[in-house]
Structure 1
């Protein structure tokens, strides 16, 4: 008598596979329905930026899980760790043209920054970067005699443009590094690498350690799944097995969001 399972093994295996792309779409649509009713803002990006940092049912419930000991907390952190692992092994880029960037916890956008003035004194030299409310920047370097040796105005943040001006080229290597670090600290967007080791207690997520606060890690998780949503909904995704695997932990994270709301 023929073994019907053996004959149809591959077909049964295909049918038993979970379509995480489809599951992600369904759970995001439900999540979208909630936050569209919970917030007066109409743009998804602005709503998600608020969700990342402000008090809300999702953040209030999940931020504590990033530092508590329980089976539920461990599973949530494991999902974040698995999402990081999958994104490291399969590169997904989202956005268009010069805004195109990789979805990764190693370089994740957390929030916009307000106007900022950064100043540092080093060996008698003064370095100053003034980023104004309209996004323009004034960069100045004064020598020991308080005379300007570099003055540059920009309409928007652009480190490569600053490094290309003649006055930057006249600076010594240590001065260039000093100004570069000061300029990067004045960036209009807070972008962090959560995996680089720092002198703080890390948050363990599966086999990975994230060097950040629980607020930063929650914001990063929201940002990652939102970018995956954009990549999928905008038709940018190549429907490969590896791509689908990235959406497995993303689906579980968004589904957890839903369990926090009523």
Structure 2
């Protein structure tokens, strides 16, 4: 995202001068959290993103506390759950950092897509789209095959990066029928390593039983990972000046601060 700090400098100066309380409190709360995770994951050399990816999957104090607060019904859990609902509602109401690239529990890339292959049979043809081997966090060996009824390969695509523009510009892909293209592109989207997922469900039977106001997915582990990702995302748009500093937009930092404050207490 582009850095809008210069465009919003007058409003950010108001924040620096203490006109907005909760963004400042959120920043102050993030600092000890930052110190804790850098100290606990020294092999990542203070790099936030790889640390947080490990933290999401590790049995550490921070994520286990989130899970406990999501699952329990004591006073601390109710406070945390209330602020989580408020954070979700504020994110949906104010669309930060902007309407087209907003942070939301409804569409969030918070984990590597567990789906690495797509198979389909259509009109005696077999289609396979797969990530063969992850090469690095941002580079993947992609293979796509179309086999006819005789099991002969009529289309083969290999690339060392997940890149849709590269696929659709491939001359062999261009020569395919529209039906074949649509199936391949559907499979390609399905295995997207950075697929955005929703943590909001439509059926109460599939929702987290401890929270009734919003139907969060009944998976505390995944929801905890998503909460870490959301907190980090709103930290980044604040630290980098990417959020337009309006009174409404900055309301997201009130529940975020209280959630982070509760979680930090578990790190003592």
TM-score, with length taken from structure 1: 0.79
- How many angstroms does 1:21 deviate by? 0.8
User: What is the aligned partner in structure 2 of residue 48 from structure 1?
Assistant: 52
1:138 is paired with a residue whose SS is strand
* Distance change in 2, residues 1:81/1:149 (3 Å): farther
Deviations 1:11-61 (A, max 9, x none): xxxxxx861011111111121122222221220111111222210011122
* Alignment of structure 1 residues 129-140 onto 2, 5 Å: 129-131=129-131, 132-134=133-135, 135-140=140-145
Unaligned segments of structure 2, at least 5 residues: 1-18
Q: Secondary structure at the residue paired with 1:192?
A: coil
Using the TM superposition, give the Cα deviation of residue 119 of structure 1 relative to its aligned residue in structure 2, in angstroms. Answer: 3.0
Deviation at 1:115, TM superposition (A): 9.7
CA distance change for structure 1 residues 177 and 166 in 2, over 3 Å: closer, same or farther? closer
- 2:194 aligned with 1:189: yes
Shift of 1:251: 0.8
Residues 66, 73 of structure 1: 8 Å contact kept? yes
The Cα of 1:141 is off from its aligned counterpart by 1.5
Q: 1:140 to 1:34 in 2, by over 3 A?
A: same
Name whichever of 40-49 and 119-128 sits farther off.
Answer: 119-128
1:118, distance to aligned residue in structure 2 (A): 3.6
Higher-Rg structure is: 1
| 1:222 paired residue number | 228
Do 2:142 and 2:162's aligned partners in 1 also have CA atoms closer than 8 Å?
A: yes
> Counterpart of 2:7?
none
Partner of residue 9, structure 2 = none
The count of aligned residue pairs is 239
**1:38 equivalent among 31, 36, 40:** 40
Greater shift, 107-116 or 241-250, is seen at 107-116
The Cα shift of 1:212 comes to: 4.6
Q: Is the 8 A contact 2:41 2:51 kept in 1?
A: yes
The answer to whether the 8 Å contact 1:108/1:193 transfers is: yes
> Mapping of 1:101-180 within 5 angstroms?
101-112=101-112, 116-131=116-131, 132-134=133-135, 135-159=140-164, 161-163=166-168, 165-168=173-176, 170-172=177-179, 178-180=183-185
Runs of 4+ deviating beyond 4 Å: 175-178
Higher strand share: 1
Unmatched 5+ stretches in structure 1: 1-16, 95-99
**How far has the Cα of 1:258 moved from its partner?**
0.4
TM-score (norm 2): 0.78
Residue 130 of structure 2 aligns to a residue whose secondary structure is strand
Instruction: Please tell me whether the aligned partners of residues 203 and 215 of structure 2 are also in contact (alpha carbons under 8 angstroms).
Output: no
Give the 3 Å change call, closer, same or farther, for CA 136–115 of structure 1 in structure 2: farther
CA displacement at 1:159 relative to structure 2: 3.5
Tell me the C-alpha RMSD between the 2 structures. 2.8
Contact 1:198–1:211 under 8 Å retained in 2 = no
Measured at CA, do residues 205 and 240 of structure 1 come closer, stay the same or move farther in structure 2, by a change above 3 Å?
farther
Deviations 1:89-132 (A, max 9, x none): 112238xxxxx942111111122358944433345321111323
What's the counterpart of residue 207 of structure 2? 202
